[in-house]
Structure 1
């Protein structure tokens, strides 16, 4: 009767354990049909909080010639303990469970095969003995034995075992490096296991997307480095639109607090950049490649040390060359010979003025550039194939040549000389390019204002003088071009004594806005259409 009651109690206890921990409990057939149940418990340890962990070489063999450096990391999960236990037929009323073995195997990786335990045998023995001690305490308290497998599993899984064994002191977990491995490999294996468990836990948890506000499982969500979580579909739509339109600043966390924080940072700060592997997993390889190209081009536009590859089929951003470790030119040595007799007989008076430092010569390799995409080597000044450091550029000062050419009358001997020296086709091409650039420059200076953040030209068609750049989100004044604070942008216009005081809106004597680019009127047909214009249309036509 007692054995039947024990068997029923064992079945009830195992049913509860399988419902709570379905993946941690395995029941094996008892060999040779012996009485009792044979179980294997796989018990991963979850620390109560992100626990700081110190690694020491306490358990390394003494014959080690080099001292292993101490490592420090923060962990939430530890590798599982594996217990093989036999439940006797009279458990739990009259006999405790019999532990066959308890191990703490090192986590395995694809590259390294780890052997041994990550906890010393003395600690494992104390954990093992606690199983029988718990059964005896329950028997003394209740008068008969009780099931203790669940209680012991909770003691292990929650990490209480480490605190009671002295492994956690003042919130710090102290682990010794096993003698079968080294500290770096042990550190890497613990980090890898912890990251894997965090990822699995994230995929099983439901989160609320900050864009669509729907609950999604973690396997359909993305967590950014800032901690914000979005469903993959919403974040993909957001970043796809940003990359397609070229607004690279929007390829970041779209939550309002993070957007506000980025607005206060330096526009050249790249700390908010999304990792390329994460971006590719969200938008795919094609958009990720476009994002990288746009980012390089943007850097070439903002950073004056960057340039663009002159090949029309490439046009990739070319960074400046790395600074040399040695100076480009050495100081010239003095040619004066100093004799020992001159020093001993008539020492020269000391000159209080120090000698002038030699003027450094121009680095002849300063104009060299090499495209990282097509590997085209070219000159920064003339945009031609690299002609070497000792050969001057064919057109070192294009603007000066064009101005000199245009200063002479058409058909003059001076123009013929320049055409013969440089080539008429080249001169015509340079003149057309210079005239186009000059007209563009005059148009930009007369109708636009440069952004104070990235330098892109902005044209105002209506509204106030408080401008927000559509490229870098910088706030600036359209009237004077100064950068203004995004926290209080109107302080710039409300400070007495400043040139822009009370100039948020500018109007003329008639109350009409000034410093605004108006669209050109569309005039169709002949003079008959002019009769239907009002005074405003006529004034616009006269101005244009």
Structure 2
């Protein structure tokens, strides 16, 4: 508009300005006329650019209002200004000094589940309708606890979560011992056996030391199809034999160690039991070196070929080498007059 008038120009300019605005000619000069010459375009900042300052202003206004409002603390039953209080995410407000003492004591005693809103009716209902304490968030804990208390609170929560997870195991490397969670399923490697927790589902890789191992036997990863090496002890064999035939417990052991391997161990175990039963019923043990002896003929006076001890075959008692037959000549004993029995 300033270009329409210049100093020394005595001609009227107001009429020209009014007509310039009335006809809309000014729109093109100020850049508001659209490309089609029939629409008006008003440029403005993107709403996303306004979102951050609007949020900051709303938060600042809310903080100022909270700081100058008085609240009743349900712990100490005193009214405090908001500047001395903390508003939890659930909406309940408590004075900061009470939360510092209360939460700090719970962290010290290891009661991590009690670090939360002290309001009795605040919590999450379980399946039976009972309410549990709403635990504090990390931001709330950071605003109340000291640095050392916060570190211990995080450690206690992590320890509790690990203990609650039945799939969590610890790295078998002695220098590591870090907890190793069950990996997320990879559909490209899932097989039928993985549905029951076998195959690739047994693989664990420690993120701390990089050791890959089997979740069943905790030995170096031996592949998804190779059974776990048989243990040195036979404890699992007794568990297998005590389980009912075709039971899930037996199938677990068969899949873990290989069915053919387990059946071979069962056969050996049964043969060994038969041998032990026959030895106990048909032989006598030397009382000195415990060598087993079977008598086919002759008297009950035995001499061990290994240690030279003299003993009675009937009762297994050690007898005098100088007079071994005294044992069979003593009245009142179970072997009296039974040298040839």
Q: Report the TM-score when normalising by structure 2.
A: 0.48
- Which structure has more helix as a fraction of its residues? 2
Q: Report the TM-score when normalising by structure 1.
A: 0.32
> Bigger radius of gyration, 1 or 2?
2
Between 1 and 2, higher relative CO (CA 8 Å, sep ≥ 6) is seen in: 1
